[in-house]
C-alpha cells in the first residue's frame, strides 16, 4: 500500500438515473405477468401442501423444491430485467440475497484459519516479490496454479513494461485476472463483481520486506474464498453477474509516491479496459461492465477499522452498508472470534479525502468502489516487521467469514451441500 493521501473531496460520478417512459411500460408489463404467474404457482403449491403455510425462513421446506424455486427466482430476474435495463440501471437495481441464520453458519464454517495460515494459502506468498524479480514471478506462478487447479476460472496474465526510477530502465509488470466461467456453457455475464488486491511487495533495499498485511494476506483471502466456495460458484445460476479476481502488480512506489511512480498495474489495466469494447453491450467498454470494485489492502493486523470512503456514491454506500450488515449478523450469531473487544470493523465513519490505491484509476473512470483498507494504517505498515508473526489469526478469520458471506449473497449463491 502506498503513502499518498489526498485531501480532495471525492464527490464524483454520482448517478441518479431517471426512469424512462419506455422502461416504465416494459417493466410494468413484465411485473404484471410475473406477479400473476408467480401467484398462480404459489397458490397451487399451497393447495397441494407442497409449501407449508408460515414456513418462515424456509428452513422446513424440502431442499430440492427450494433449489428449484431459487433457480426459478434467478431466471425470472434475468428474463424481466436484462432486456430493458441498461448496465447502470442493472447495477443500481441489483440486490444481494440475504442468507438465513442457518445458511450463514454454514458459510462461516467453511473458513479454516489453520489452513489459511499454512502452505495451502498464505505461506507461498510471504516472500519478497518486487516487480521484475524471481520472487515476484514465483508468487505469480503460485496464484495462477492455485486458481487453475479449480478448473472454473479463465485466467489472463496482463503483461506490460514501463520505465521505473529504481532501475532507470523498463520493468515488466504482470496483472493476474481470473474470471469465473458460468456453468453449463452459459454466455458470459454482462456485469462483474471484482475483488482486487496487489501481490507485489515494496522495493526496500537493505531490508527483507515480505509485506504480510501489504498485501500477502489479501491475496491469500481471495484464493481462500475461491477454494472454499468452489461448489457454490460452480453451481451459480444468477446470470447478470459473475465474479472476477484481480491481483495487481506494481502497486508500490519504488522511490517516492507520485502519479507515475505508483499503481503501475491498475493504471495500465484501467486504461486498457476503458479502450476495449464490452463483449455484449454496444457502445460500452469492458470497464463499464464492472458492477462493483472491492479493493482489499492492509489486512491482517488486529482491530482494523474500515471507513465508508464513498458514502456519496449510492452504489458504493449501499454495498459498504451491506458489509456492515453482514458483520453485525455474524456477530449476533456468535460466529466472530474475540470480537467484542474489537468493536465493528466496518465502523461507518465517513471520509472526505481519499487514500490513493489501486482503485483510483477505476474510480476516476466512473466505477463504483468499496475500499476495504485499515484506517489508520497498521503499526507495521512499510516496516520490516510486517511479517507473519505480527498477524492476528482471529481478525483474519473474522474477515474471511465476512467476505465469504458477501460474495455468496451478492451473487445469489447456494451454500455447498
Residue with cell 486504461: 271
Distance CA 252, CA 262 (A): 5
Cβ atoms of 254 and 165 closer than 8 Å: yes
Catalytic residue of the set 251, 288, 358, 368 = 251
Helices (H) and strands (E) in the chain, counts: 12, 10
**Residue 40 pLDDT:** 55
Catalytic residue of the set 74, 214, 297, 357 = 297
For the question of whether the overall pTM of this predicted structure is more than 0.85, the answer is no
State yes or no: is 190 an active-site residue.
no
**Residue 292 pLDDT:** 99
Q: What is the pLDDT along the chain (417 residues), one digit of tens a residue?
A: 664 555 443 444 434 443 444 444 444 445 444 455 555 554 454 445 544 444 444 434 445 555 555 655 555 555 444 456 899 999 989 999 999 999 999 999 999 999 999 999 999 999 999 999 999 999 999 999 999 999 999 999 999 999 999 999 999 999 999 999 998 878 899 999 999 999 999 999 999 999 999 999 999 999 999 999 999 999 999 999 999 999 999 999 999 999 999 999 999 999 999 999 999 999 999 999 999 999 999 999 999 999 999 999 999 999 999 999 999 999 999 999 998 776 799 999 998 788 999 999 999 999 999 999 999 999 999 999 999 999 999 999 999 999 999 999 999 999 987
SS3 string, the chain, reads CCCCEECCCCCCCCCCCCCCHHHHHHHHHHHHHHHHHHHHHHHHHHHHCCCCCCCCCCCCCCHHHHHHHHHHHHHHHHHHHCCCCCHHHHHHHCCCCCCCHHHHHHHHCCCCHHHHCCCCCCHHHCCCCCCCCHHHHHHHHHHHHHHHCCCCEEEEEEEEEEEECCCCEEEEEEEEEEEECCHHHCCCCCEEEEEEEECCCCCCCCCCCCCHHHHHHHHHHHHHHHHHCHHHHHCCCCCCEEEEEEEECCCCCCCCCCCCCCCHHHHHHHHHHHHCECCCCCCCEHHHHEEEEEEEECCCCCCCCEEECCCCCHHHHHHHHHHHHHHHHHHHCCCCCCCCCCCCCEEEEECCCEECCCCHHHHCCCCCEEEEECCCCCCCCCCCCCCHHHCCHHHHHHHHHHHHHHHHHHCCCCCCC
All three cell numbers of 332, joined, read: 449476533
Phi then psi for 56, rounded to 5 degrees? 60, -120
State yes or no: is 59 an active-site residue.
no
The CB density around residue 149, as the number of other CB atoms within 10 Å, is 12
Amino acid at each position: 500500500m502506498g503513502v499518498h493521501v489526498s485531501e480532495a473531496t471525492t464527490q464524483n460520478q454520482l448517478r441518479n438515473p431517471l426512469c424512462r417512459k419506455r422502461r416504465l411500460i416494459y417493466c410494468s408489463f413484465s411485473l404484471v405477468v410475473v406477479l400473476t404467474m408467480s401467484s398462480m404457482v404459489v397458490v397451487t403449491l399451497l393447495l397441494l401442501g407442497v409449501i407449508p403455510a408460515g414456513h418462515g425462513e424456509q428452513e422446513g421446506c424440502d431442499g430440492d423444491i427450494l433449489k428449484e424455486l431459487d433457480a426459478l427466482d434467478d431466471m425470472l430476474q434475468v428474463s424481466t430485467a436484462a432486456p430493458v435495463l441498461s448496465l447502470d440501471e442493472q447495477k443500481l437495481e441489483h440486490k444481494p440475497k440475504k442468507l438465513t441464520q442457518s445458511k450463514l453458519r454454514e458459510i462461516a464454517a467453511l473458513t479454516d484459519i489453520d489452513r489459511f495460515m499454512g502452505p495451502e494459502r498464505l505461506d507461498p506468498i510471504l516472500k519478497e516479490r518486487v516487480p521484475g524479480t524471481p520472487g515476484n514471478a514465483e508468487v505469480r506462478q503460485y496464484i495462477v496454479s492455485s486458481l487453475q487447479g479449480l478448473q472454473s476460472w479463465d485466467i489472463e496474465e496482463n503483461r506490460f513494461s514501463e520505465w521505473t526510477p529504481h532501475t532507470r530502465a523498463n520493468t515488466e509488470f504482470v496483472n493476474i485476472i481470473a474470471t469465473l466461467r458460468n456453468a453449463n456453457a452459459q454466455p458470459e455475464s454482462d456485469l462483474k463483481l471484482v475483488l482486487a488486491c496487489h501481490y507485489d511487495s515494496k522495493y526496500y533495499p537493505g531490508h527483507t520486506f515480505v509485506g504480510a498485511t501489504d498485501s500477502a494476506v489479501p491475496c491469500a483471502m481471495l484464493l481462500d474464498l475461491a477454494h472454499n466456495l468452489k461448489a457454490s460458484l460452480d453451481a451459480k445460476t444468477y446470470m447478470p453477474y459473475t465474479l472476477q479476481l484481480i491481483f495487481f502488480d506494481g502497486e508500490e512506489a519504488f522511490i517516492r509516491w507520485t502519479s507515475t511512480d505508483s499503481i503501475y498495474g491498475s493504471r495500465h489495466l484501467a486504461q486498457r479496459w476503458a479502450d476495449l469494447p464490452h463483449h455484449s453491450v454496444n457502445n460500452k467498454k469492458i470497464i463499464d461492465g464492472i458492477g462493483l470494485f472491492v479493493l482489499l489492502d492492509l489486512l491482517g493486523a488486529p482491530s482494523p477499522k474500515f471507513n465508508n470512503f464513498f458514502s456519496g456514491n449510492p452504489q458504493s454506500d449501499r454495498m459498504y452498508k451491506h458489509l456492515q450488515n453482514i458483520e453485525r449478523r455474524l456477530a449476533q450469531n456468535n460466529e466472530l472470534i474475540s470480537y467484542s473487544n474489537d468493536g465493528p470493523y466496518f465502523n461507518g465513519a465517513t471520509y472526505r479525502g481519499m487514500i490513493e490505491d489501486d482503485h483510483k484509476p477505476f474510480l476516476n473512470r466512473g466505477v463504483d468502489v468499496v475500499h476495504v483498507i485499515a484506517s489508520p494504517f497498521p503499526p507495521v505498515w512499510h516496516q520490516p516487521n510486517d511479517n507473519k508473526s505480527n498477524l492476528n489469526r482471529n481478525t483474519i478469520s473474522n474477515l474471511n467469514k465476512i467476505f465469504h458471506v458477501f460474495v455468496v449473497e451478492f451473487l445469489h449463491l447456494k451454500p455447498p451441500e
